Structure 1
Amino acid sequence: MVNPDALWDKGCKNSGLIGETFRCCATRYHETQQQLRTDQGNLCAYCEQDLLSGTNGILDDCRIEHFHPKSRRKLGEVNWGLNWANLLVVCCGGNQRKVVDPENRFDTRPENYSCDVLKGDKILDTIVFNPLNLPDINIWKFYRSTGLIDVDESICTARGLDVKMARQTVKELNLNSPRIMRARKAILDNLNSRITERLKSGETVEEARRVLAASVLRKNRAGDWPSFFSTTRFYLGQQAEQILVHPL
């Protein structure tokens, strides 16, 4: 890094702080955002909703998030603003009126905002899970009747993960916002309908789940994972796990 002590924000005026200001121009921001989208398979790091791009003045439902607040640091502290391991890409959390697909992506009620919106500048490093540090297992469970996300306590316990921290993750990020629950329920209802159709053709539930898992639990040509990946993974059960370990 040319300026390892630089700051992310523009126009730092606080005395006692170190480093030149990192001027994150539109080009730099876009390049960073695109790389993060590629790294995350184009899913929000918190709710796993797909990240949509806007056109003709419509905002992307996507922005860069610093897991640990990028607040200006003092001498000797980690440079959270430019630490690549501290960067995530997330959806806008429902608070942008001019975002793409506002009927589904915008909410008029602040209490229904989610992801980084409610997190704000709070330091939650020991309160919520950092998505980058979670093991490659599904620690969540979902309910098709509502689209609600819950914690799979047995898996958390077996893997040595803090159940309380998992619950705090859902609460602090408001992952059961009505807007997100509706979107999850739509995914679950679609999967259920597709399984039902395959059962009518004579397949067993296991066969239907295996076929669907092979079809949907993979990246598309653009390198994107399916929206609400963990939701689909949970609903397709053991067949999903088998496909993820041994893709067809």
Structure 2
Amino acid sequence: MKCIRSLAGPTPGLSAYLAVAGSKDWTGFRSHAGGASYRELVESLVDLQHGICGYCEIDIREPDRQVEHVIPQSDPVRGATHALDPGNMIACCKGGTLQIDDDTRRLDPVRRNRSCGEAKGNRVDPDFVDPRTLPDLPSLTRVNFDGRIEADAASCASRGVPVAKIKKTIEILGLNAERLRRARENRWNALSENWGAQIGVPGLMEAAAKGELLPNADDHLSRFFTTSRSYFGVYAEKVLSEPPRDWI
């Protein structure tokens, strides 16, 4: 996971729905203006997150996308008041549940390969870490060459974040489901094939890190951002620390 930003306020379509007299809920908003307002909201969130899932970092594309309520709508205390709060929404993939012939997006058995909001469900856990509260630098997670994601103990200590919270968040979101582990391992192997011969050559590695980690012409990041970040290590952190830091 990487840090992501929150919407500064409601999108025009959401504002229009909120201005309508009468009771309002998420279901009503989904159908407002024939669904155009919902689609506008999703697009705004996807753009804000540079095209990747707020949890697993796969590239978000239709139809594998949805709005995730960080505070679940079912929460008996806070759910109803935050259902239409743009500050409670992030864009996510469908967590391995979409009917599609793509092993990175769906892998049998589906139950064991669910992730992100589909794995989290209505769970409310005090140890869950909202990605919007993560620091930009350093990364509190790292990906190993085998595709497994884990807490970075040194980085957690430097920011005063308990390692146990990051571990718990990874577990809640199913980020080490075999489907995602394989996808990240494949990403690591592709990076190694492309850039492995340049390891130890600072100028070349920094240039490669820029190409893999910074937003492209469409302002999108490459899928599995943290995998690339972990692969490039100190070169990645140097590149990501340089202004304008528009990858956040």
Sort the TM-score into its range (normalised by shorter chain): 0.7 to 0.9
Question: What is the aligned length?
Answer: 223
Indicate which of 84, 87, 90 corresponds to 2:86: 84
CA contact (8 A) 2:103 2:179 kept: no
Query: Which amino acid is the alignment partner of residue 228 of structure 2?
Result: T
Larger proportion of helix: 2
**Residue 4 of structure 2 corresponds to which residue in structure 1?**
none
Query: Which amino acid is the alignment partner of residue 19 of structure 2?
Result: V
1 or 2 for the larger relative contact order (CA 8 Å, sep ≥6)? 2
Looking at structure 2, the residues matched to 115 and 77 of structure 1 have their Cα atoms a distance apart, in angstroms, of 18
Looking at structure 1, the residues matched to 44 and 205 of structure 2 have their Cα atoms a distance apart, in angstroms, of 32
CA contact (8 A) 2:67 2:91 kept: yes
**Residue 171 of structure 2 corresponds to which residue in structure 1?**
171
Please give the per-residue CA displacement for 1:201-230, whole angstroms capped at 9, x wherever unaligned.
xxx343332121121111112111111111
Deviation of residue 127 (structure 1)? 2.4
What residue ranges of structure 1 are gaps of 5+ in the alignment? 11-20, 54-59
Aligned runs of 1:1-248 on 2, under 5 Å?
1-2=18-19, 6-10=24-28, 23-24=31-32, 25-53=34-62, 60-71=63-74, 79-97=81-99, 99=100, 101-109=101-109, 110-124=111-125, 126-137=126-137, 138-144=139-145, 146-198=146-198, 204-246=200-242
Query: Which amino acid is the alignment partner of residue 38 of structure 2?
Result: Y
Q: TM-score, normalised by structure 1?
A: 0.82
CA contact (8 A) 2:147 2:183 kept: yes
Query: Which amino acid is the alignment partner of residue 207 of structure 1?
Result: G
SS at structure 1 position matched to 2:90: strand
Deviation of residue 154 (structure 1)? 1.3
Looking at structure 1, the residues matched to 76 and 123 of structure 2 have their Cα atoms a distance apart, in angstroms, of 15
SS at structure 1 position matched to 2:68: strand
CA contact (8 A) 2:147 2:184 kept: yes
SS at structure 2 position matched to 1:102: coil
Change beyond 3 A, Cα 1:103–1:77: closer
Which structure: larger Rg? 1
SS at structure 1 position matched to 2:67: strand
CA contact (8 A) 2:75 2:122 kept: no
What residue ranges of structure 2 are gaps of 5+ in the alignment? 1-17
CA contact (8 A) 2:198 2:205 kept: no
CA contact (8 A) 2:71 2:88 kept: yes
Q: CA RMSD in A?
A: 2.4
Deviation of residue 141 (structure 1)? 1.6
Please give the per-residue CA displacement for 1:129-185, whole angstroms capped at 9, x wherever unaligned.
1011111121112111x2000110111011011211100011111100111111111
Query: Which amino acid is the alignment partner of residue 27 of structure 2?
Result: D
Looking at structure 2, the residues matched to 166 and 72 of structure 1 have their Cα atoms a distance apart, in angstroms, of 22
- Matched residues, percent identical? 27
